[in-house]
A and B are shown apart, each in its own frame.
Chain A
C-alpha cells in the first residue's frame, strides 16, 4: 500500500527533522536511495521548485515528492504525514506552556530565550545575505574585490531598505514589496 508507506516515511521525517524545512533535505536524500521513488536529479529540481514557490519549503517538498509517487492523494498523504508529529508535539507543549506561562521561572527563562531567538534569526539572515548579495565563487576565482559584491543586488537591497522606512510606504503589506521586487528582477534580468 503505497499511501501507507508514503505516510509512514514522511511521519518519520517530520519526527526526526528538527529545525525547519531545510533540515528535511538529508532525509529526502536517504529516502531516494532507500526506495528509488525519485532520483537525486529529480530531488534537486523539487528543491528548486519548493524554494521558488510560496509556502513552507518542507511542506512544498513533501507535496512534490508525494505527487511524483502517488498523484494528488499521495501529495496530501505525504504532507499530512510530515506535519502530524509536529502538530502532536506542539499541541502538548502549547497546553503545558499555557499552564506555566505565568510562572516566574518560565518568565525568567524566556527573558534569556528571546534575545537568543533573535540571535538565531540574525544568523539565518546573515546566511541569506551571504547567499544573495555576495558572490564568493567569482571572488575566489579572480581575487578581485569588485567581483565579491554583486553591485546590482547591493544597490537594489539598499533601495528596498530605504523604501521600507519611508512614511506611508512602510505600512504597505510586505507582499507589495515582494511583487515589486519580482517585477524589478524580471525587467533588469537579475
Chain B
C-alpha cells in the first residue's frame, strides 16, 4: 500500500514540477526515479522514451505506466499514471475557472521565457548523462548521430528510427561486434 502511495506521490511530483512537455520531463524523471528512488536505471529511461515514441498517447503517461507496472504490476501502472495527470487536472481547472487570460499576463510570459532557457540547459545536462550510458562504441555513436541529424533534417516518424535501430542493434551484435573485437585484439 505504501509503495502504491509512493508511486502516486512521486509521479504527481514529476507532473507538478515539469515545465514544457516532452524532453523537459527527463531531468525530473532522472532525479526522482533514478537518483532518489533507484526504481529504474538511466538505460531504462531511454528504453521507455523509445517505447513512448512508438505507442499511442503521451510519452509522460507512457513512462509513468511502464515504471508503475514494473514496481507494482497493473495496479502500480494505473496508480503511477493517475499520479502524473493529477496535478495537471487540478492546476488547469483552477486556471480555466479563474484565470483564462493566464498566458497573456506579462509576468507569466517573462517567467516562462526564463524557464524555457533553463529547461534547455537542464535537458542538455540530462542528455550528456544519457549519452554516456548509451553511446558506448563506434556503432552506437553512428546510430546516435544519424538519428539526431535525420530527425532534424527529415520529417520521418520516430517509430521508423526506433525500429531500424532495433534491427541494427541485432545485426551489429550478431555480425559486426565480434570481428571488431578481433581486430582490436590484433592491434
Contact = CB atoms under 8 A, between A and B. Distances in A.
Bound pair (A, B): yes
Interface of A: 14-22, 24, 45, 48-60, 63-64, 67-68, 72, 75-76, 79, 82-83, 85-87, 89-91, 93-95, 97-98, 105, 108-129, 131-133, 153, 156-157, 160-161, 164-165, 173-175, 177-178, 180-186, 188-190
B158 A67 contact: no
A120 B158 contact: yes
A79 B84 CA distance: 11
B34 interface: no
Given A83-B58, A120-B53, A185-B111, 19 more contacts: A18-B55, A20-B59, A51-B21, A55-B84, A59-B15, A67-B93, A67-B96, A98-B70, A112-B168, A113-B165, A119-B143, A119-B161, A121-B123, A121-B130, A131-B116, A161-B125, A174-B27, A174-B31, A183-B114
16 contacts: A51-B21, A58-B58, A59-B15, A59-B61, A75-B89, A86-B56, A98-B70, A114-B43, A118-B127, A118-B135, A119-B143, A119-B144, A128-B116, A133-B120, A160-B117, A182-B114
B140 interface: yes
B contact patch SS = helix
A105 B166 CA distance: 10
A53 B105 CA distance: 13
A89 to B, nearest CB: 5
Given A63-B89, A160-B118, A173-B31, A119 B148 contact: yes
B117 A132 contact: yes
Given A75-B93, A174-B17, A114 B66 contact: no
B181 interface: no
A64 B92 CA distance: 6
Interface of B: 15-28, 31, 43, 46-47, 49-62, 65-66, 69-70, 74, 77-78, 81, 84-85, 87-89, 91-93, 95-97, 100, 102-104, 107-127, 130-131, 133-135, 140-141, 143-148, 151-152, 157-159, 161-162, 164-170, 172-174
Contacts of B125: 161, 164-165
B15 A91 contact: no
Contacts of A185: 110-115, 117
Nearest to B169: A112
Contact of B170 (A14, A24, A109, A126): A109
Given A51-B20, A76-B89, A114-B46, A164 B121 contact: yes
B121 A157 contact: yes
A52 B108 contact: yes
Contacts of B135: 115, 118
Contacts of B146: 119
B122 to A, nearest CB: 5
A122 B127 contact: yes
Contact of A54 (B66, B69, B91): B91
Nearest to B164: A116
